[in-house]
């Protein structure tokens, strides 16, 4: 497994995208309860973004976390910035666009600190690659925020290998959070995870269970069921274990409010798939054997 600057992060990360508006519409009390249950499981890292819940989820999480009574030092906060979308709370945005300017990154980070009611962010990600971004401008913003103690680490999300390398050459990044699963295998072959391994950086995988993998009666689902039975696990746990086997040390980001699913994902790290089991699942997903 790759060495990483994120060694304090839990091996599975709890995603908060569905906590608020447009999702489960949890109350502050419900968020506090979910945070406590999640931390008791061993998952201490929480992933969010300024844009979630029409720019309201950070504040909801911050209030819920305050009610939970958990110490800030025992958990890690990840948030993202860079997307400007027309929303009720952002009427000045007339068209959805990206902004990775120095001024916007600084403003976004400081606003996230305020919403989350915290003095620092453990990891700040640029949410999407901006065609107009300049790596030196990102580096300038990152350096300032880090120097002021407002953000510990920086990374990117949904960046291609060349985009990642361009930014990383100007400022050392801690991760690249991308969509990756048995049904989204592109990062395994397009260089995304190779670059992470090369730099000793652990990537993160959003939507780690993939899409439409746990329904229907395809050959893949049959093999998932069989493999799960052999390991006394669930198919969802096999999907997580499949990601965890990669040497880059992938962090699965579980976007769920169901504690049982978080608990199952955390315990999936105990499942050790063989190399043949791993490739059998790859083959079933591809519909053909490897070359």
Catalytically active residues are 52
β-pairing, 13-15 with 45-47? parallel
Q: How far apart, in whole angstroms, are the C-alpha atoms of residue 65 and residue 60?
A: 8
Q: List strand residue ranges (DSSP E) for 82-160, in order.
A: 83-84, 97-98, 121-126, 151-157
CB 172 within 8 A of CB 208: no
Give the span between the Cα atoms of 103 and 145, in whole angstroms: 11
Rounded Cα distance between 132 and 211, Å, is 31
Non-local (6+) Cβ contacts of 124 within 8 A are 78, 79, 80, 81, 109, 112, 142, 145, 151, 153, 154, 155
Element at 5 (helix H, strand E): none
Other Cβ atoms closer than 10 A to 262 = 22
CB 166 within 8 A of CB 132: no
Which residue in this structure is represented by tokens 């009610």?
67
**d(Cα 270, Cα 231) in Å, to the nearest integer?**
10
**Burial class (CB within 10 angstroms; exposed 0-12, middle 13-18, buried 19+) of 132:** exposed
């Amino acid at each position: 497994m790759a060495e990483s600057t994120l060694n304090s992060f839990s091996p599975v990360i709890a995603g908060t995208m569905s906590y608020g508006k447009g999702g489960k519409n949890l109350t502050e009390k419900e968020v506090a309860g979910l945070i406590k249950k999640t931390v008791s499981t061993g998952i201490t890292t929480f992933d969010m973004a300024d844009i979630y819940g029409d720019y309201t989820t950070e504040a909801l999480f911050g209030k819920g976390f305050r009610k939970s009574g958990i110490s800030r030092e025992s958990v890690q906060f990840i948030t993202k910035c860079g997307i400007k979308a027309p929303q009720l709370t952002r009427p000045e945005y007339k068209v959805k666009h990206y902004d990775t300017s120095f001024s916007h990154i600084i403003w976004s980070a400081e606003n996230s600190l305020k919403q989350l009611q915290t003095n620092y962010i453990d990891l700040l990600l640029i949410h999407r690659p901006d065609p107009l971004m300049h790596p030196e401008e990102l580096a300038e913003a990152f350096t300032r925020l880090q120097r002021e103690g407002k953000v510990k680490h920086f990374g990117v999300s949904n960046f291609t290998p060349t985009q990642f390398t361009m930014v990383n050459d100007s400022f050392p990044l801690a991760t690249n959070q991308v969509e990756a699963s048995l049904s989204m295998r592109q990062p395994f072959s397009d260089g995304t995870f190779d670059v992470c391994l090369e730099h000793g950086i652990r990537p993160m995988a959003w939507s780690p269970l993939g899409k439409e993998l746990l329904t229907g009666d395809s050959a893949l689902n049959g093999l998932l069921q069989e493999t799960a039975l052999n390991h006394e696990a669930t198919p969802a746990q096999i999907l997580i274990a499949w990601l965890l086997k990669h040497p880059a040390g992938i962090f699965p980001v579980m976007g769920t409010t169901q504690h049982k699913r978080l608990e199952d994902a955390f315990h999936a790290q105990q499942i050790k798939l063989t190399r043949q089991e791993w490739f059998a699942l790859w083959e079933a997903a591809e519909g053909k054997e490897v070359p």
